[in-house]
Chains A and B, each alone.
Chain A
Amino acid sequence: MPTPLFIAQIGLTLFVFVMLLSSAAGMVYVERKVAALLQQRIGPYLVGPKGLLQPLADIIKLMFKEELRPSAADAFLFALAPIISATCAFAAFAVVPFGGDTTLLGLIPGGLRLQVADVNVAILVVFAIASMSVYGIVLAGWSSNSKYSLLGGLRSSAQMISYELSYGLALAGVLLVGNSLSLTDIVNRQAGTWLGFIPHWFVVVQPIGFLIYMTAGIAETNRAPFDFPEAEQELVAGYHTEYSSMSFAMFFLAEYVNMVTVSAVATDLFLGGWHGPFLSESIGWIWFLLKVAAILFFYVWMRWTLPRYRYDQLMRFGWKILLPLAVVNLLVTAAGVLYFGS
Chain B
Amino acid sequence: METQTVHHGAMFDTNELVINMGPQHPSTHGVLRVVLRLDGEKVVDCDVVIGYLHRGIEKLSENRNWTQIVLLTDRMDYVAAATSNVGYCETVEKLLQLEVPRRARYVRTILCELQRIASHCLWVGTHAMDIGAMTVFLYAFRERELILDLFEEFCGARLTYNSMRIGGLPLDVPPGWAKKVLEFCTIMEAKVGEYEELLTHNRIWLERTKGIGIISGPEATGLGLCGPALRGSGVARDVRKDEPYAAYDEVQFDVVIGTNGDTYDRYLVRMEEFRQSLRIIRQATEGIPEGPIVGKVPRLIKPAAGETYHAIESPKGELGYFIVSDGKSTNPYRFRVRPPSFCNLQGLRRLVRGHLVADVVALIGSIDIVLGEVDR
User: A and B bound?
Assistant: yes
Contacts of B128 in A (CB 8 A): 307
Contact A306 B358 (CB under 8 A): no
With A306-B133, A307-B208 known as contacts, the answer to whether A236 contacts B202 (CB < 8 A) is: no
Contact B129 A233 (CB under 8 A): yes
Question: Which of A225, A303, A311 sits near B356, CB closer than 8 Å?
Answer: A311
Q: How far is the CA of A304 from the CA of B134 in the complex (A)?
A: 6
Query: Which of B112-120, B135-143, B319-327, B333-341 lies at the binding interface?
Result: B135-143
Q: How far is the CA of A312 from the CA of B359 in the complex (A)?
A: 11
Q: How far is the CA of A310 from the CA of B362 in the complex (A)?
A: 11
- Taking the complex as formed, is A39 at the interface, i.e. its CB lies under 8 A from any CB of chain B? yes
- Taking the complex as formed, is A38 at the interface, i.e. its CB lies under 8 A from any CB of chain B? yes
Contact A234 B133 (CB under 8 A): no
Contact A307 B135 (CB under 8 A): no
Contacts of B17 in A (CB 8 A): 147
- Taking the complex as formed, is B219 at the interface, i.e. its CB lies under 8 A from any CB of chain A? no
- Taking the complex as formed, is B26 at the interface, i.e. its CB lies under 8 A from any CB of chain A? yes
- Taking the complex as formed, is B357 at the interface, i.e. its CB lies under 8 A from any CB of chain A? yes
Contact B139 A307 (CB under 8 A): no
Contacts of B41 in A (CB 8 A): 151, 155, 311-312
Q: Output the residue of B133, B142, B199 with the most chain A CB within 10 A.
A: B133
For the residues of A in contact with B, the DSSP-based class is: helix
Question: Which of B131, B138, B142, B356 sits near A233, CB closer than 8 Å?
Answer: B131
Tell me the A283-342 residues at the B interface (CB within 8 Å).
Answer: 303-313
Distance in Å: Cβ of A158 to nearest Cβ of chain B = 10
- Taking the complex as formed, is A3 at the interface, i.e. its CB lies under 8 A from any CB of chain B? no
With A233-B27, A307-B205 known as contacts, the answer to whether A39 contacts B135 (CB < 8 A) is: yes
Question: Which of B138, B204, B361 sits near A234, CB closer than 8 Å?
Answer: B361
- Taking the complex as formed, is A84 at the interface, i.e. its CB lies under 8 A from any CB of chain B? no
Contact A310 B139 (CB under 8 A): no
Distance in Å: Cβ of A126 to nearest Cβ of chain B = 28
Contact B27 A306 (CB under 8 A): no
With A151-B41, A233-B27, A234-B361 known as contacts, the answer to whether A308 contacts B132 (CB < 8 A) is: yes
Contact A307 B138 (CB under 8 A): no
Contacts of B138 in A (CB 8 A): 39-41
Q: How far is the CA of A332 from the CA of B288 in the complex (A)?
A: 70
Contact B134 A310 (CB under 8 A): no
Tell me the A121-158 residues at the B interface (CB within 8 Å).
Answer: 147-148, 151, 155
Contacts of A151 in B (CB 8 A): 19, 41, 357
- Taking the complex as formed, is A232 at the interface, i.e. its CB lies under 8 A from any CB of chain B? yes
Question: Which of B25, B134, B199, B208 sits near A309, CB closer than 8 Å?
Answer: B208
- Total interface residues on A, CB under 8 Å, equals 29
Q: How far is the CA of A147 from the CA of B142 in the complex (A)?
A: 36
Contact bitstring B249-284, A, C-beta under 8 A = 1, else 0: 000000000000000000000000000000000000
Distance in Å: Cβ of A222 to nearest Cβ of chain B = 13
Q: Output the residue of A41, A155, A225 with the most chain B CB within 10 A.
A: A225
Contact A307 B132 (CB under 8 A): yes
Contact B204 A306 (CB under 8 A): yes
Contact A307 B202 (CB under 8 A): yes
Contact bitstring A146-184, B, C-beta under 8 A = 1, else 0: 011001000100000000000000000000000000000
- Taking the complex as formed, is A231 at the interface, i.e. its CB lies under 8 A from any CB of chain B? yes
- Total interface residues on B, CB under 8 Å, equals 30
Contact bitstring B187-218, A, C-beta under 8 A = 1, else 0: 00000000000110010110110000000000
- Taking the complex as formed, is A16 at the interface, i.e. its CB lies under 8 A from any CB of chain B? no
Tell me the A83-138 residues at the B interface (CB within 8 Å).
Answer: none
Task: Tally inter-chain residue pairs, CB-CB below 8 A.
Answer: 80
Q: How far is the CA of A227 from the CA of B130 in the complex (A)?
A: 13
Contact bitstring B346-376, A, C-beta under 8 A = 1, else 0: 0000000000111111000000000000000
With A236-B25, A236-B26 known as contacts, the answer to whether A310 contacts B359 (CB < 8 A) is: yes
Nearest B-chain residue to A237, judged by Cβ: B26
Contact B198 A233 (CB under 8 A): no
Contact B26 A307 (CB under 8 A): no
Contact bitstring B21-54, A, C-beta under 8 A = 1, else 0: 0000111000000000000010000000000000
Contact B358 A307 (CB under 8 A): no
Contacts of A306 in B (CB 8 A): 132-133, 202, 204
With A307-B199, A307-B205, A310-B356 known as contacts, the answer to whether A233 contacts B133 (CB < 8 A) is: no
Contact B207 A309 (CB under 8 A): yes
With A147-B17, A232-B26, A233-B132 known as contacts, the answer to whether A225 contacts B358 (CB < 8 A) is: no
Contact A305 B133 (CB under 8 A): yes
Contact B198 A305 (CB under 8 A): yes
Tell me the A1-48 residues at the B interface (CB within 8 Å).
Answer: 35, 38-41
- Taking the complex as formed, is A269 at the interface, i.e. its CB lies under 8 A from any CB of chain B? no
Contacts of A155 in B (CB 8 A): 41
Q: How far is the CA of A39 from the CA of B205 in the complex (A)?
A: 19
- Taking the complex as formed, is A246 at the interface, i.e. its CB lies under 8 A from any CB of chain B? no
Contacts of B142 in A (CB 8 A): 40
- Taking the complex as formed, is A264 at the interface, i.e. its CB lies under 8 A from any CB of chain B? no
With A306-B202, A309-B204 known as contacts, the answer to whether A234 contacts B27 (CB < 8 A) is: yes
Question: Which of A40, A147, A224, A234 sits near B358, CB closer than 8 Å?
Answer: A234
Distance in Å: Cβ of B179 to nearest Cβ of chain A = 25
Q: How far is the CA of A337 from the CA of B32 in the complex (A)?
A: 60
Contacts of A235 in B (CB 8 A): 357
Nearest A-chain residue to B130, judged by Cβ: A233
Contacts of B356 in A (CB 8 A): 310-312
Q: How far is the CA of A40 from the CA of B141 in the complex (A)?
A: 11
Q: How far is the CA of A231 from the CA of B26 in the complex (A)?
A: 11
Question: Which of B19, B129, B202, B358 sits near A310, CB closer than 8 Å?
Answer: B358
Question: Nearest 7 pairs between A and B by C-beta?
Answer: A308-B132, A39-B138, A307-B133, A233-B27, A307-B132, A307-B131, A310-B358
21 contacts between A and B (CB under 8 A): A35-B134, A35-B135, A38-B135, A40-B138, A151-B19, A151-B357, A225-B204, A234-B27, A234-B357, A234-B360, A234-B361, A235-B357, A305-B133, A306-B133, A307-B128, A307-B132, A307-B204, A309-B207, A310-B207, A310-B208, A312-B41
Listed in ascending order, the chain B residues whose CB lies under 8 Å from chain A are 17, 19, 25-27, 41, 128-135, 138-139, 142, 198-199, 202, 204-205, 207-208, 356-361
Known contacts A233-B361, A234-B361, A236-B26, then 10 further A-B pairs from the complex at CB < 8 Å, ordered by chain A residue: A41-B138, A151-B19, A151-B41, A233-B130, A304-B134, A306-B132, A307-B132, A308-B131, A310-B207, A313-B207
